[in-house]
Chains A and B, each alone.
Chain A
Amino acid sequence: MLEVKNLTVRYGKKIAIKNATFNAHNKEIVGLIGADGAGKSSTLHAIAGVQRFEGEVVFNGYAYHSPAEAEPLKSQIALMPQGLGLVLYPDLSVKEHFEFFKRIRGVKDDPAYEERLLKMAGLYKFQDRLAKNLSGGMKQKLSLICTLLHRPKLLILDEPTTGVDPLSRRELWEILDETRHAQDIVILYSTAYMQEAQQMDKILLFDEGEIIAQGKAEELLKSAEPYTYEETSCDECFCFDKRCYSLKPLPVPHAKPTLEALFFINALKKGKKETRFQIKPKKVQTPPIIVEAKGLTKRFGDFVADDHIDLTLHAGEILGLLGANGAGKTTFIKMLLGLYPIDEGELWLLGKKIESYEDRIELKNYIGYMSQNFALYKDMTIKENMEYFGKLHELPSKTIAQKIEELSQGLGFAEYLDEFPTSLPMGINQRFSLATAILHEPVVLFLDEPTSGVDTIARAGFWKLLHELKRKWRISILITTHYMSEAEYCDRVVVLKEGKKIVDDTPQHLHELYPGLSFEEIFINFYKETK
Chain B
Amino acid sequence: MRAFWTILLKELTLFMRSVGLVVAVLFFFLVDVYIVGNDIEIEPKNVSVGYVDYSNGGVLSKKILSHLHAPEFKKPIPFQSHEALSKAIFDKKIVVGLIFDPDFQKRYDAGGATQLNVLLDSTAATQSLLTLNYLQNIVLGFSSPKFPIELKIHKLFNQNSDTKKFMPLAELLSIMTLFGVILSASVFVKEKEQGTWDIMLLTPVDSRIIIFAKTTSQVLILFFLTMLSTGIDLFGIFDLPLNGSFAAYALMTLVFLYSIAGIGLFVAAVSNTIMEVAQWSVFLMMPIIFLSGAWTPIYSMNIYLQYLAYLSPLRYYIEGVESILFRGTPVEDLWLYFAGMTVIGAFLFMVGYRKIGKLF
Instruction: Assess whether B6 is interfacial by the CB under 8 Å rule.
Output: yes
Convert A377-419 into 0s and 1s, putting 1 for each residue whose CB lies closer than 8 angstroms to a CB of B. 1111000100011011110000000000000000000000000
- Asked whether B152 is an interface residue with its Cβ less than 8 Å from the other chain, the reply is no
Question: Taking the complex as formed, is A357 at the interface, i.e. its CB lies under 8 A from any CB of chain B?
Answer: yes
Contact (Cβ within 8 A) B81 A67:
yes
Q: Which residues of A contact B160 (CB under 8 A)?
A: none
At the interface, yes or no: B109 with Cβ under 8 Å from chain A?
yes
Query: CB within 8 A of B203: which of A50, A91, A364?
Result: A364
Interface locus among A215-223, A288-296, A367-375, A461-469: A367-375
Query: Which listed residue, B6, B199, B207, touches A371 by the CB 8 Å rule?
Result: B199
A126→B338 CA distance, assembly (Å) = 55
Determine if B196 and A375 form an interchain contact, defined as CB atoms under 8 angstroms apart. Answer: yes
Given the known interface contacts A74-B56, A377-B14, the answer about A357 and B360 at a Cβ–Cβ threshold of 8 Å is yes
Q: In the complex the two chains form, is B81's CB within 8 Å of A337's CB?
A: no
Interface centre among B6, B13, B107, B199 (most CB of A within 10 A): B199
Residues of B contacting A182 in the complex (Cβ-Cβ under 8 angstroms): none
A250 to chain B, nearest CB (A): 43
Indicate whether B201 reaches chain A with its CB closer than 8 angstroms.
Answer: yes
Q: Report whether A376 and B196 are in contact in the complex, using a CB–CB cutoff of 8 Å.
A: yes
Q: Mark B97-110, 1 if CB is under 8 A from A, else 0.
A: 00000100011011
Contact (Cβ within 8 A) B18 A379: yes
| A529 contacts the other chain (CB 8 A) | no
How far does the Cβ of A378 sit from chain B's closest Cβ, in whole Å?
6
Minimal Cβ-Cβ distance residue in A for B106: A104
Known: A100-B109, A377-B196, A388-B6. A361 touches B204 (CB 8 A): yes
Report how far A392 CA is from B205 CA in the complex, Å: 7
| Known contacts A66-B81, A373-B195, A376-B196: A392-B203 contact under CB 8 Å | yes
Give Cα distance in the complex from A471 to B141, angstroms. 62
With the chains together, A375 CA to B201 CA distance in Å? 13
Kindly list chain A residues whose C-beta atoms are within 8 Å of the C-beta of B199.
369, 371, 375-376, 389
Residues of B87-132 contacting chain A, CB below 8 A = 102, 106-107, 109-111
Q: Is A71 an interface residue (CB 8 A)?
A: yes
Is B300 interfacial (CB-CB < 8 Å)? no
Which residue from chain B places its CB closest to the CB of A100 in the assembled complex?
A: B110
Query: Is B10 within 8 A of A388, CB to CB?
Result: yes
CA distance A375 to B195 in the complex (A): 6
Q: Give residues of chain B (335-360) contacting chain A, Cβ–Cβ below 8 Å.
A: 360
**Distance between B193 CB and nearest chain A CB, rounded to angstroms:** 10
Interface string of A20-57 (1 = CB under 8 A from B): 00000000000000000000000000000010100000
Q: Is B332 an interface residue when CB atoms closer than 8 A count as contact? A: no
Known contacts A68-B80, A104-B109, A364-B204, A371 near B10 by CB under 8 Å: no
CB-CB < 8 A to A50: which residues of B? 102
**Count of B interface residues, CB-CB < 8 Å:** 33
Residue in contact with B83 in the complex, picked from A52, A100, A357, A367, CB distance below 8 Å: A52
User: Which chain B residues numbered 1 to 39 have a C-beta less than 8 Å away from chain A?
Assistant: 2-3, 6-7, 10, 13-14, 17-18
Contact residues in B for A388 (Cβ distance below 8 Å): 6, 10
Q: Do A92 and B111 have beta carbons less than 8 Å apart?
A: yes
Flag if A364 contacts B13 (CB, 8 Å).
no
Cross-interface CB contact of A391 among B2, B14, B80, B201, cutoff 8 Å: B2
Contact A339 B198 (CB under 8 A): yes
1/0 contact string of B277-308 vs chain A (CB within 8 Å)? 00000000000000000000000000000000
Chain B residue with the shortest CB-CB distance to A71: B56
- How long is the Cα–Cα vector from A71 to B204 in the complex, in angstroms? 51
Residue numbers in A under 8 Å from B202 (CB-CB): 337, 339, 364, 367, 369
Nearest CB of B to A399, in Å? 13
B194→A391 contact, CB < 8 A: no
Q: Scoring A residues 104 to 140 as 1 if CB is less than 8 Å from chain B, else 0, what string do you get?
A: 1000000000000000000000000000000000000
A68:B204 contact, CB within 8 angstroms: no
Residues of B within 8 A of A391 (CB): 2-3, 6
| Contact among B3, B6, B10, B206 with A361 in the assembled complex (CB-CB below 8 Å) | B206
A365 at the interface (CB under 8 A from B): yes
The complex places the Cα of A92 from the Cα of B109 at a distance, in Å, of: 12
- Give Cα distance in the complex from A320 to B331, angstroms: 67
A62 at the interface (CB under 8 A from B): no
Chain B residue numbers with a CB within 8 Å of A302 are none
**Chain A residues whose CB sits within 8 angstroms of the CB of B110 once the complex forms:** 89, 92, 100
- Taking the complex as formed, is A362 at the interface, i.e. its CB lies under 8 A from any CB of chain B? yes
A371 to B197, CA, bound (A): 11
Residue in A closest to B80 when the chains form the complex, CB atoms? A68
Closest B residue to A370 using CB positions: B199
What A residues does B205 contact at CB under 8 A? 392
Give the residue name and chain of the A residue nearest to B83 (CB).
Answer: A52
Which of chain A's residues have a CB closer than 8 A to the CB of B13? 380, 384
Please provide the chain A residues from 65 to 107 with a CB less than 8 Å away from any CB of chain B in the complex.
66-68, 71, 74, 89, 91-92, 100, 103-104
A339 neighbours in B (Cβ, 8 Å): 198, 201-202
When distances are taken between beta carbons in the complex, the residues of chain A under 8 Å from B134 are none
Complex CA gap A339/B203 in Å reads 12
Least CB distance, B84 to chain A, in whole angstroms: 9
* Beta-carbon contact of A52 and B203 below 8 Å: no
User: Residues of A contacting B203 with CB < 8 Å?
Assistant: 364, 389, 392-393
Q: Give bound CA distance, A71 to B107, whole Å.
A: 19
Most chain B beta-carbon contacts within 10 A, residue among A364, A365, A391? A391
Q: How far is the CB of B180 from chain A (nearest CB, A)?
A: 22
CA distance A52 to B111 in the complex (A): 29
Asked if B157 is an interface residue, CB under 8 A from chain A, the answer is no
Residue contact A66 to B80, C-beta cutoff 8 Å: yes
Question: 1/0 per residue B193-224: CB within 8 Å of A?
Answer: 01110110111111100000000000000000
CB-CB nearest in chain B for A395? B2
Q: B142 contacts the other chain (Cβ, under 8 Å)? A: no
**Residues of chain A at the chain B interface (Cβ within 8 Å):** 50, 52, 66-68, 71, 74, 89, 91-92, 100, 103-104, 334, 337-339, 357, 361-362, 364-365, 367, 369, 371, 373, 375-380, 384, 388-389, 391-394
24 contacts between A and B (CB under 8 A): A50-B102, A67-B54, A68-B81, A89-B107, A92-B110, A100-B110, A103-B109, A338-B201, A361-B204, A365-B204, A371-B198, A373-B195, A375-B195, A375-B196, A376-B199, A380-B10, A380-B13, A384-B13, A391-B2, A391-B6, A392-B203, A392-B205, A393-B204, A394-B2
9 smallest CB-CB distances across A and B, nearest first, come from A364-B204, A375-B195, A391-B6, A392-B203, A68-B80, A365-B204, A89-B110, A379-B17, A379-B14
- 5 more A-B residue pairs beyond the given contacts A364-B204, A376-B196, with a C-beta to C-beta distance below 8 A: A100-B109, A104-B109, A339-B202, A376-B199, A380-B13
